[in-house]
Amino acid sequence: MSVFSTILRQIVNGLQSGSIYALVALGYSMVYGIITLLNFAHGDIIMVGAYIAWLSMAKFSMHPAFAILAAILGCTLLGMLIEKAAYKPLRGSPRISLLITAIGVSFLLENLSQMVFGAKAQVIPTFFEIPSIYLGSIELSGTALITLLAAAVSMVLLTFLVQKTKMGKAMRAVAEDTDAAQLMGININHTISFTFAIGSALAGIGAILYCSAYPQATPTMGSMLGLKAFVAAVLGGIGSIPGAMIGGFAIGLAESLVSAIGLSVWRDGVVFAILIIVLLVKPTGILGRPMREKV
């Protein structure tokens, strides 16, 4: 085992978890950009996605392709439901109320699924057998490569959606100035709903990729994942799509680097330390725009 191949493996490990973080971070970033809400429940949507995948395959023995569709669809609907039920009535209230509600939703989802599915981890069957790829003497896991690929494709599509379509334009307008956008004839409710749908669909894809890498579903699996993805979003610059990608990969690589040098128990600590440093040094993140303070 050469040092080089160990390093290469660690980089692939980091990129794999990094691309999942990036996908989740995108969801955070979009929602934050449009209604400046830190959607704490975002990580838990992933958890629900994982349970949907488990239910459809292990309980209803559906074809993996349908299970994937069901998970993504379920996440999308759940995201929209949460927005309608919990966040919409609070539009215009202080940010602190929104944030507390988001925490409440997150806890509700976690505890409901603990009650329904139990605290025991459920094993998610393999979606598809993906052969490993050999790069010289080094074996690279197929799952890792698919994860990377899926993340990249989702991001390209998302960029296209936001930059080139009419809905994307509306989203950007609402994020810029909600009132002005409304005056220009943009339906705020539809746009916000759509943003939640897209963000949650990304969470659904994230759930599938997560489950193919770590095939277990537990009620609390989303909370740490969500927090780390949020760190990634902040690091890259919240509200920015390429920023979320950069942040996700950076967090993934940092984590596997910390573990690689034998400090794995400090991994969570390091992630939060990165967050603190970023917030203190450059609160807008790597690609974020400076925020104006309104009087």
Partner 1 sequence: MKKLLSIALVAMMALSALAGCAAPVATDTSASDASAADAAQPAASGETIKVGILGPHTGDYAVYGLAVKNGAQLYIDQVNAAGGINGKQIETIVYDNKGDSTEAITAFTRMVDEGITALIGDVLSGNTIAVVGEANPINMPMITASATAVGATYNADTDTVYTNVFRSCFIDPFQGEKMAQYAAEKLGAKTAAVLTMTGDDYSVGLADAFKAKCAEVGINVVADEGYSKGDVDFKAQLTNILATAPDVIFCPNYYQDDGMIVTQARELGLTSTFLGGDGWAGVSAYASAADLEGSYFCSAYAPGSTDAVKKFEADYTAAYGADTLNMFAATAYDAAQILVAALTKAEASGAATGSDEYKQAVIDAIKTEGPSVVGITSETGYTFDEHNNPIKSAVIMTLTDGVETFKEMY
Partner 2 sequence: MKQTYKKIPMPVRYVINTLLFVAFLIVGLSLIQSGVITKYYTKVLMLIGINIILTVSLNIATGYLGQLPLGHAGFMAVGAYTAAIFMTRSGLDASVSFPIGLVLGALMAGLVGVLIGIPALRLKGDYLAIITLGFGEIIRVVLLNIDSVLGFKLTYGAASLKGIPKETNFLNTFLCVGIACLLIHTMMKSRHGRAILSVRENEIAAESCGINLTYYKVLGFAASAVFAGLAGALYAGYLGILNPSSFGFMKSIEILVMVVLGGMGSMVGSVLSATVLTAVPELLRAFSEYRMILYSLLLITVMIFKPSGLMGQYDFSLSRMLEHVFNQKPAREKTNHKAGEKNG
- Which residues contact partner 2 (rule: CB under 8 A)? 32, 36-38, 86, 89-90, 93-101, 103-108, 110-112, 115, 223, 227, 230-231, 234, 265-266, 268-269, 272-273, 275-276, 279-280, 283, 293, 295
Q: What is the footprint of partner 1 within residues 15-44 (CB under 8 A)?
A: 16-17
Least separation in angstroms between CB 227 and partner 1: 11
Q: Among residues 36, 159, 182, 259, which is the contact residue for partner 1, using CB under 8 A?
A: 259
Least separation in angstroms between CB 101 and partner 2: 4
d(CA 217, CA 225): 13
DSSP letter (8 states) at residue 90: G
Q: Are strands 138-140 and 216-217 parallel, antiparallel or unpaired?
A: unpaired
Does residue 176 bind partner 1 (CB under 8 A)? no
Contacts of 179 (CB under 8 A, 6+ apart): none
Q: Return the number of the residue (15 or 233) whose C-beta is nearest partner 1.
A: 15
Which does residue 96 bind out of partner 2, partner 1, none, counting CB within 5 to 8 angstroms by kind?
Answer: partner 2
Q: Return the number of the residue (100 or 157) whose C-beta is nearest partner 2.
A: 100
Please provide the distance, in angstroms rounded to a whole number, between the alpha carbons at the two ends of the chain.
61
The three-class DSSP label of residue 63 is coil
Q: Return the number of the residue (53 or 234) whose C-beta is nearest partner 2.
A: 234
Helix or strand holding residue 49 (H, E): helix 42-54
d(CA 171, CA 208): 26
